[in-house]
A and B are shown apart, each in its own frame.
Chain A
Amino acid sequence: MSTLTAERVAHRMVRRGGFLSHTGFITGRWLRAQYRSPALIAFTLVQPAIWLLLFGQLFKGVVALPGFSDTSYIAFLTPGIVMMTALMTSGWSGTTFIDDMERGVMDRMLTSPVRRGALMAGQLISNGTTTMIQTVLVFAIGFAAGARYDGGVLGYVITIVASMLVGTAFGSLSNAIALLTRRQEALIGISQFVSLPLTFMSSIMLDPKLAPDWVGVAARFNPVDWAAITARQALSANPDWTSIARHGSYLLAFTLLVAYLSTRAFRTYQRSV
């Protein structure tokens, strides 16, 4: 009987291998995979480069329209494209889960003692680092095209954090859709369907003051727009800290909520296998 008790105790002790250490292991796995295919990040930069260089030129004149709040369109556009890139790239996040499901990796993980939250968090942290690198690179392209900011280091830091929150929120949404649909085509379809309206019903490309009213109303509930506003304010010469705090905390709350709900999707997945 004493061996049985000892075993129970051993089980308990092993069980303490908890959320943080597991998150570390899972993050390591994804970062390593990412580090082994660095070209993928370069691919995802093609689109933002086209947006910045082409649209930056094409719509150069919109700043002259009465009511536009900025004086340089490329400076206005760059933080928006940063958020758009974070959104679009993270939409693909769930494909890593589907690859794992198509192999037996997901099933093996789910029959192991790994924390479900760690499976989600580890992948999202790795996704967040991709977003961070992209954000820096998009800024570099914007800078080359002539965008300049007065907000200083803090402005850039807040922008990077905001972009990582967008990446995390929509990355976990993508992971959840992956767990629920289990199909690559469904995931990509849904993510395109969601990201286009989120991009256009926002201040990413145009000051909503110039758009129809309903766009402005929709933008108020758009997390991507919260991020764009936070970033533009933080990068400006005289940031409106109240607006930054308000939009930033909406964004944070949204991200945490979506990440939590996505972790619950593991249960739905397990019910269907």
Chain B
Amino acid sequence: MALPPALEAVELVKTYPADRKQPPLRALDGLSFTVPEGVVLGLLGPNGAGKSTTVKILTTLSRADSGTARVAGLDVGKQQEEVRHAIGYVPQKSSSDPMATGIENLVLSGRIYGLSRQESVRRAAELLERFDLTEAGARQVRTYSGGMQRKLDVALGLVHRPRVLFLDEPTTGLDPEARADLWTEVERLSGAEGLTVLLTTHYLEEADRLAGQLAIVDHGKIVAEGTPEALKAELRGDSVQVELVDPDTDGDVRRLLTALPGVGEVVVDGNTLRARVDRGATAVPAVLGALEEKAIPVTAVTVSRPSLDDVYLQYTGRSFKSAEKDEERAA
């Protein structure tokens, strides 16, 4: 018997109504994906792309206007109660009660999910141990550092041994050390324990490291899907990045480079031009020669293998950084 996928979203649509400050917002516009059991799916996209909305619908917090979604084989619209028992949700913002201790937070959560008092206490101790919080367990959460709070948040999502864990931007705002810590933990959850994880992130590096399967979200739709390696492999050739002394305001440099043989799309971002080329080794001399001929001063030229940033660029037509800026301006 084939196992049902751990997560399945079909044509999800969600529109937030207009209010005084904002026009109506179509957050999801027919978003679909499937995740097999035991896989970490990374939803990658800039702020406002629809990642959090997707998570809210799959966790029963919000409802889709149309489309269906199943979590662990259960319909999120019709079997809310069962879905809630099957999932753990770690929201973007810290989800612990600052006035309670770590232990109290975990025990309350265990009790809500139907564990007995003793079971809840035992499970709390187990999770504190695992996240290296045992010493802080009896302290109020408001005394915790950001990294400790985040670890407690993940622990709170695991109290009832869910089958699917949702991590909404788990490392935003963490320092590099705490981030690395959490990455190790997520790898352990999906690896040894076979938990299915849906992770939203706007860090390319995080998606590259953690996600077994990646979905790029843009304007409420999945624009590309696959393993990070497959997505990168689909992009043939290399990426050449040219940094100019003066910005290419009138597009002359862009036109110049695009006209060269073996050079694909060129994207301008301030002083930086990024070009997709068939072969880095032959393209660089040609690019430099063309620039020198026109006496255009250059600060640096780099060649790299395709990164997820290039994948993003390829599918959305914007570099990841500029997409972030756009969305921030809109928000």
Binding stretch for chain A, among B91-99, B122-130, B238-246, B305-313: B91-99
Given A111-B60, A270-B61, A273-B56, answer yes or no on A11-B91 (Cβ-Cβ < 8 Å). no
How many residues of chain A get a CB closer than 8 Å to chain B's CBs? 32
A33 near B97: Cβ-Cβ < 8 Å: yes
Q: Which A residues are in CB contact (< 8 Å) with B303?
A: none
- Say yes or no for B254: interface residue by CB 8 A criterion: no
B94 near A104: Cβ-Cβ < 8 Å: yes
CA distance A105 to B108 in the complex (A): 12
Given A270-B61, A271-B63, answer yes or no on A107-B85 (Cβ-Cβ < 8 Å). no
Binding stretch for chain A, among B35-43, B109-117, B210-218, B321-329: B109-117
- Say yes or no for A240: interface residue by CB 8 A criterion: no
Choice from B60, B63, B95, B111 contacting A104 with Cβ under 8 Å: B95
B85 near A113: Cβ-Cβ < 8 Å: yes
A110 near B61: Cβ-Cβ < 8 Å: yes
A108 near B63: Cβ-Cβ < 8 Å: no
User: Shortest CB–CB separation between residue B253 and chain A, in angstroms?
Assistant: 46
User: Shortest CB–CB separation between residue A10 and chain B, in angstroms?
Assistant: 9
Q: Which B residues are in CB contact (< 8 Å) with A33?
A: 97, 99-100
User: Shortest CB–CB separation between residue A22 and chain B, in angstroms?
Assistant: 7
User: Shortest CB–CB separation between residue A37 and chain B, in angstroms?
Assistant: 8
A28 near B87: Cβ-Cβ < 8 Å: no
- Say yes or no for A17: interface residue by CB 8 A criterion: yes
Chosen A-B contacts, 30 in total, with CB atoms closer than 8 Å, are A11-B81, A11-B82, A13-B114, A14-B113, A17-B113, A25-B112, A29-B97, A29-B100, A32-B100, A33-B97, A33-B99, A36-B99, A103-B95, A103-B96, A104-B90, A104-B94, A105-B95, A108-B89, A108-B91, A108-B156, A110-B61, A111-B59, A111-B87, A112-B84, A112-B112, A113-B81, A113-B112, A113-B113, A114-B112, A272-B16
Q: Which 6 A-B pairs have the closest CB atoms?
A: A104-B91, A104-B95, A14-B114, A108-B95, A33-B99, A104-B93
- Contacts from A to B (Cβ < 8 Å): 8, 11, 13-15, 17, 21-22, 25, 28-29, 32-33, 36-37, 100, 102-105, 107-114, 270-273
- Contacts from B to A (Cβ < 8 Å): 16, 56, 59-63, 81-82, 84-85, 87, 89-100, 104, 108-109, 111-114, 140, 153, 156-157
